[in-house]
Structures are given as structure tokens and as C-alpha cells.
Amino acid sequence: MLIGSGIITFLLIALFPHTFAASPTWLAPIVGSPLVLATTVALGLNLVFRIGIKRSVEMSIDPDVLQLQDMETFVERNAASWGARRDVITRVKFALLQAIDVLADFRDPRSVIKLTMIYDELDVEVRLAYHGERLALPQSPPAKEEIKQSEGQRLLAGFLIRRQADKADVTMESGLCMLRLHFRQ
């Protein structure tokens, strides 16, 4: 439909050049050329048809048996098929590696972590759902003395995760924690 509309518009202007003769002078450069008008119609329809398209994929992660290479392959394969930028994919992978590493220590060992990636042409959103303690995402890094303790390592991981994502938050509902990471394209 998109290509057909562009071709029909091109043919309309090429065969009947006086179709838009009564249009305002400021529109003359656009409607006076078949190629410009057909391109404008095709681009406009493309934008309209793409509104609201979201793609999502899910993966269950058991940190006890997870091969990190499997998760990286999952992220790269899906993000590449979506056309996500390489730097965004790198940031997503780094944040996920940090999150999985830290969540493996204080999540409920009887449950798995559910990874959901959502892509909508402008953004990549990553959601990690797990049972366990809420992950802290501090604005500033912990002190060097704090990092030597296990809680300080969690704070450092939370800080690194927040730093990689454009937006990060954690919500908790009925014992289920949801870590949301938002990456702008």
C-alpha cells in the first residue's frame, strides 16, 4: 500500500501536471514535482503505519545455570533484527550482565529471573522480574570502603546499571520486583 500510494501519486502528477495548480504558492515546490510529492506521501504514510509498533521477546534466566554467552547472544540477535544501534546494544548487554550478577546473590533461589526486551523504533526497554529483595539504584557511587563489603558491591552494581540506562527504576509488588531499564535509540 505504501509503495503503491507513492507510485500512484507520482503518476498522477506526471500525467496530470495541473492537478494542484490552484494550491498555495508555498506548496508549489512540493506538489509541482512528481518525485518530491510521491516521496513525501510515501514517507508520511510510513510514519503513520509505524506508530505504535512494538516488538517484544522474553527469556527466563536461572543465574545458577546461566551461560552468560547465551544471554548476550539472545540480546544481540533480537536487537540486531530490530535494527537497534550498536552502542545501545552494548549498553543493554553491560547493564544486564551487572543486573544478573547482582540479582543472582539476593533473589529467591527457587525462582528464575524473567527478562523481557521491548523495542519500538525509538527506545529499547528491558524488564527483569524476580522474587527477592529490591535492588538499590543509587545516583552516586558508593565510597571505596563500602565497596569492600557485600552491600557496597550491590550499591556499585546498582550505580553502574543506572549509569548505563537512560532511565532506571525498581518497583515491588507482592514480593515480585520489577527492574525497568530504558535506553533511548
DSSP per residue over the chain, as a string?
-HHHHHHHHHHHHHH-TTTTTTS-GGGHHHHT-HHHHHHHHHHHHHHHHHTT--EEEEEEE-TTT--HHHHHHHHHHHHHHHT--HHHHHHHHHHHHHHHHHHHHHB-TTSPEEEEEEE-SSEEEEEEEEEBPPPP--SSPPPHHHHTSHHHHHHHHHHHHHHHSSEEEEEEETTEEEEEEEEE-
Helices 86-106/68-82 angle, 10° precision: 150
What is the model's pLDDT at position 165? 93
Residue with cell 528491558: 126
> Which range (59-63, 123-127, 180-184) has the least confidence?
59-63
- Lowest mean pLDDT across 109-113, 127-131, 137-141: 109-113
Half-sphere exposure of 102 (CA within 13 A, CB side): 24
Rounded to an integer, what distance in angstroms lies between the CA atom of residue 135 and that of residue 155? Answer: 8
Q: What is the mean pLDDT of the chain?
A: 86
Structure confidence by residue, pLDDT tens digits, 19-67: 888 889 898 888 888 999 999 998 888 878 766 667 889 998 887 776 7
**Using an 8 Å Cβ cutoff, are 105 and 132 in contact?**
no
Of 32-41, 75-84, 161-170, the one with minimum mean pLDDT is 75-84
The pLDDT tens digits for 90-103 are: 999 999 988 888 88
Structural domains present in the chain: 2-50 (no CATH), 55-184 (3.30.565.10)
